Structure 1
Amino acid sequence: MSLSQSLTAAMSGLTAASRGAQTVATNLANLRTAGFGRRDLLLSSLASGGVLVGAVLRNSTPLITADRRIALAESSVADTRLGFRTALEGWLGTPGTEGSLTTRIGALDSSLLAAAAAPGTEATLAAVLNAAMGLAGTLASVSAKVQQARSTADGAIANDVATLNLTLAQVADLNHSIVKMSALGRDTAALVDQRQVLVDQIAAIVPLREVQRENGQIALYSAGGATLLDGRPAHFGFAQAGVVAADSGALSDLTMNGRPLSAADGAAMGGGRLSANFAIRDDLGPAAQHQLDAIARDLITRMQEADSTLAPGAAGLFTDSGAAFDSARERGLASRIRVNAAVDPAQGGALWRLRDGIGAVSPGDSGNGAGLSAWAAALSEPRAAASGGFLPGLRSLSGLAGDMMSGIATARLADDVQATVAHSRSSALSELEAASGVDSDREMQMLLLIERSYAANAKVIQAVDGMIANLLEI
């Protein structure tokens, strides 16, 4: 090899070392950067000696990334559903704890029995009124919180739809930029990193599949087959309700490119956080409200039927916003249940009606606790639930409430297990994906090799320089 060839080969080695050090520095600088794919410098040998520096390659694990995104969507679903059911369980309380629904029912039963034993004592009658108001207030409070959760889910859907539209448009723009940069022979790895971060954001909202297209572009499809992006991004529409009430009518559904989604398209968009919030708003929340309404109905009818002083169609101890219960208006009943003003001195009523009956026109025998005993017996009487979707069987009012709370606790435990499994799978896949990413130890080893290569090539140049100097002195 001639001196000029040796010098050229050494110079190419220095260039390769410089680019290699730059690549290692980039990797180490982005060790914790989301979406970053490890860079590798492509090198090849020249026939004349030396090194040819090629492109900088971005490493990726598409199969692992795809599985990790599906696991991310599953985690989002499990977390969203678990959050609602955990909150609902807390609002209802656990049996035996202060303020829980079953504790409120037990307090009313106890106060009725105490008042029946001392019906002429105003304090015992006041305790019945307070217990009745506490029970009605708990039903109304839980109902309001369920509707607030549905409103929150409705708002979360609106936010996710806005994010989905914005992010899909950004991915489409990055596709276009990657095509342009590729045509100019420029490095597109940084743009691909940005695109991966955006696709991950979409994957939490809607589980998806990424399909490679020519010139570095990608297409996105939901796991169920809906086209999210293929050239042009899909545009989704949604009208936020603002406030959701127990008796709200049909709420907004998704539209795609200005058209309502068919049943098949709607199912194709399922599996992510978006579908979980739709479930809370349209299924889980209404189901909980339906059972609350059934408990309120059971309470109203029990106390109404046990009061022999009521005229036909008159409201009993518990009312629907002051009126008698109408089975045609059961929806949202738990949010409207109130204690009859006729027994509340603060509303112009009288406590003695708790002893003598809501329909009594004047005080009766102060020692007669039969009416109070009848109410207490009505609370404990085994009955079949008239609504609410409960399993067949006879239950007391407390048993009916206990069944609802037990069902919610069971569903919450199932969601907890599902969330744990989904998080474990997501974490395992994330670690597996990270294993193929930047390893600081490996990068430092590469840097040592690059330094040695740089030193060796520098010595070759130094030696050639000395040889040329000696030749010039002859």
Structure 2
Amino acid sequence: MTLTSAMNSAKSVFSNTGEQSQIVSKNIANAGNTNYVKRYTNVATTTDGATVVSIGRSEDLILQKQLLTTTSDSAGQDALLDGLERLKSVLGGNDYELSPSTYMAQFYNDLQAYAAKPGELSLAQTAISSAQDVANSLNKVTGSVQDVREQADLDISNAVTNLNSLLANLQKVNDKIVSLTATGGDPNDYLDQRDTIVSQISSIIGVTVQTRDNNDMVLYTSDGTTLFESIPRNVTFQAKTTYDGATTGNSVYIDGTAVKFGVGGDTSAQGTIAANLQLRDEIAPTFQSQLDEVARGLITVFDDSGVPGLFAWSDPSNGVTMPGDPLPAGTVYPGLAGLITVNPDYVSAQGGDPTRLRDGNSVDMNPDDSAGYTGLLTTYMDGMTSDMTFDPDSELDDSTSLLNYATDSVGWLEEYRSNASSASEKKTAMLQRSQEAYSSQTGVSLDEELALLLDIEQSYKAASKLLSTVDEMMQALLTATG
């Protein structure tokens, strides 16, 4: 080795260790940053020694794809479970003590007690009070169900706004990456930013990623709709401020294509938008239809010869006040559970007579005013326990008793919520494992970086020793020729 080549080798080592030290220091500084991907130097060997030719990122596209998928799955499942938990709380929590079925069971018991002693006015008043509890429960639960739909609609609106903002930021970062890559610059910091943005997008809607020349990114939704290609696609949604049993929410459109809502308790929804659409447009409306069918069943069972009996209803939006015509069997009247009330003719505080429950309202079924008459009360109790026809679209048995139907409705919601809860635990665990695997592959290990820093230090010391030796040889040569 000549003195010149030795000096060039030392110079190369100094240059390399300087760049490598910067990279290692940057890695160590970002050891706790989950949005940072570990850097490394690519070294090539030339006639003058090893030279750093580029700086790379420890990216893993397969693990990143898995992480994006599990992020979408977990976010969608959690959003669905949150909505189902709100519906459960509306019914009183674990024991469902505020559910219409609970109040209906008590009402039935009070009817039995009154039938056992039909001459007791206090028992008649108790039965009417229980009937009011049933109607109030249906009214309140209906209002809460629509509140859940309104909140889901608001969450969708906020998610769409956030998504459009993220896509706009993605365009800026992606343009910078393409420019730096094409001109030989270092796009790594911007690549980290882009990965972070895509991860945030994946919690809103499921995405797949494709990378083209110059690190240009194309983003698709999980069902294949283009979300970003050089420029963001238009994501639109028109929110609604109020909901009732007959309200249909608006769709979310990406480049003119409607986003599909998820299916099932272990939902297929990827991201919060699809999950909230499922909650707003599928789960809550189905539960509402069950409540409406319970209300229709009560009105039908207690119908008084074609005029309002114990349970009446009115629909101001249609100009209908306590109609006498019976509601069609097996057909949901949207929002009926929010309209049902107890007929004032039976309520003492409103000038009514509770004994009408025993004797009839429009037609006197007990003309002799017999204190022991129970015929009508027995008919009502039989009506609550005998099979009747319900709308099959409500996803419950379409031929069962009114009491069983109300109980089955609670069971339907609890099964949905239980499945969603189990799926949430599973998907959260899968997300954690994906994060750990991705971090293990792309994150910074302090032990590895510190070990590499020691290697760099040794290389620097060796180059310093080589340079010192060359200097001594040069001094000796100059002395000898002096």
What is the TM-score when the length of structure 1 is the normalising length?
Answer: 0.88
Task: Give distance in 2, aligned partners of 1:95 and 1:106.
Answer: 17
SS of structure 1 residue aligned to 2:371: coil
- Call closer, same or farther: CA 1:34–1:348 in 2, change over 3 Å: farther
Cα contact 1:224–1:267 (8 A) shared by 2: no
Match status 1:99 vs 2:105: no
The match for 1:307 is: none
Pairwise CA distance, 1:364: 7.6
Residue identity in the other structure for 1:221: Y
Write the mapping of 1:81-92 to structure 2, written as runs, cut at 5 A.
Answer: 81-92=80-91
Query: Helix, strand or coil: the match of 2:210?
Result: strand
Secondary structure in 2 matching 1:148? helix
Deviations 1:346-378 (A, max 9, x none): 333333333433337899837245244433333
Is the Cα–Cα contact under 8 Å of residues 224 and 270 in structure 1 kept in the other structure?
Answer: no
Corresponding letter in the other structure for 1:442:
E
3-state secondary structure, aligned to 2:169: helix
Q: Distance in 2 between matches of 1:96 and 1:376?
A: 25
Alignment of 1:389-468 (within 5 A): 389-392=394-397, 394-437=399-442, 438-468=444-474
Q: Does 1:261 align with 2:257?
A: yes
Q: Percent identity?
A: 27
Offset, 1:15: 2.4
Local SS of the residue matching 2:455: helix
Kindly provide the amino acid, as one letter, of the partner of residue 141 in structure 2.
V
Q: Which residue identity is paired with 1:42?
A: N
Report how far residue 472 of structure 1 moved: 4.6
Tell me the distance in 2 between the aligned counterparts of 1:252 and 1:95. 33
Contact 1:355–1:368, Cα closer than 8 Å, also in 2 = no
Aligned partner of residue 31 in structure 1, secondary structure: coil
Instruction: Using the TM superposition, give the Cα deviation of residue 70 of structure 1 relative to its aligned residue in structure 2, in angstroms.
Output: 1.6
Secondary structure of the residue aligned to 2:51 is strand
- Please, which runs of 5 or more residues in structure 1 have no aligned partner? 305-309
Q: RMSD across aligned C-alpha pairs, in angstroms? A: 2.8
Compared CA separation, residues 291 and 429, structure 1 to 2 (3 A): same
Once the two structures are superposed, the pairs formed by residues 187-226 of structure 1 within 5 Å of their partners are 187-226=186-225
Partner of 2:226: 227
1:101 CA displacement = 2.9
Check whether the contact 1:353–1:360 (CA below 8 A) recurs between aligned residues.
no
The structural deviation recorded for 1:192 is 0.5
| Distance in 2 (alpha carbons) for counterparts of 1:164 and 1:32 | 27
CA–CA distance in structure 2, aligned partners of residues 432 and 390 of structure 1: 41
Of 328, 331, 339, the residue aligned with 1:336 is 339
Q: C-alpha distance in 2, partners of 1:386/1:255?
A: 31
**1:116 to partner: Cα distance:** 2.5
Partner of 1:22: 22
8 A contact 1:291–1:387 mirrored in 2: no
- Letter of the structure 1 residue corresponding to residue 445 of structure 2: D
The 3 A distance-change label for structure 1 pair 161 and 363 is farther
What is the aligned partner in structure 2 of residue 375 from structure 1?
380
Q: Give 1:63 shift.
A: 1.4
| Counterpart in the other structure of 2:41 | 41
Moved more, 418-427 or 333-342: 418-427
Deviation at 1:382, TM superposition (A): 3.2
Q: Paired residue for 1:113?
A: 112
Check the 8 A contact 2:177/2:215 in 1, yes or no.
Answer: yes
Q: TM-score, normalised by structure 2?
A: 0.87
Question: Secondary structure, in 3 states, of the residue corresponding to 2:68?
Answer: helix
Change (3 A) 1:121 1:54: same
One-letter code aligned to 1:191: Y
Q: Alpha-carbon deviations, 1:366-396, whole Å to 9, x = none?
A: 7245244433333223333356535556433
Aligned position for 2:352 = 349
Which amino acid in structure 2 is aligned with residue 51 of structure 1?
A
Aligned residue for 2:55, secondary structure, equals: strand
Structure 2 partner of 1:365 = 369
Q: In 2, distance between residues paired with 1:29 and 1:133?
A: 66
**Residue pairs, 1:272-287, within 5 angstroms:** 272-287=271-286
Alignment correspondent of 1:178: 177
> CA 1:347–1:290 in structure 2 vs 1: closer, same or farther (change >3 Å)?
same
Secondary structure of the corresponding residue to residue 436 of structure 1: helix
1:341 Cα shift? 1.6
Are the equivalent residues in 2 in contact too, given 1:295–1:400 (CA < 8 A)?
yes
Deviations for 1:282-333, whole angstroms, at most 9, x for unmatched residues? 11111111111111111111122xxxxx353x21111114613644881101
Which residue number in structure 1 is paired with residue 239 of structure 2?
240
How far 1:65 moved relative to its partner? 0.9
* Per-residue CA distance 1:383-431 (angstroms, 9 max, x = gap): 3335653555643322111222222222333333333333333222222
1:315 matches 2:301: no
What is the count of residue pairs matched by the alignment? 462
Label 1:73 to 1:174 Cα distance change in 2 as closer, same or farther (>3 A): same
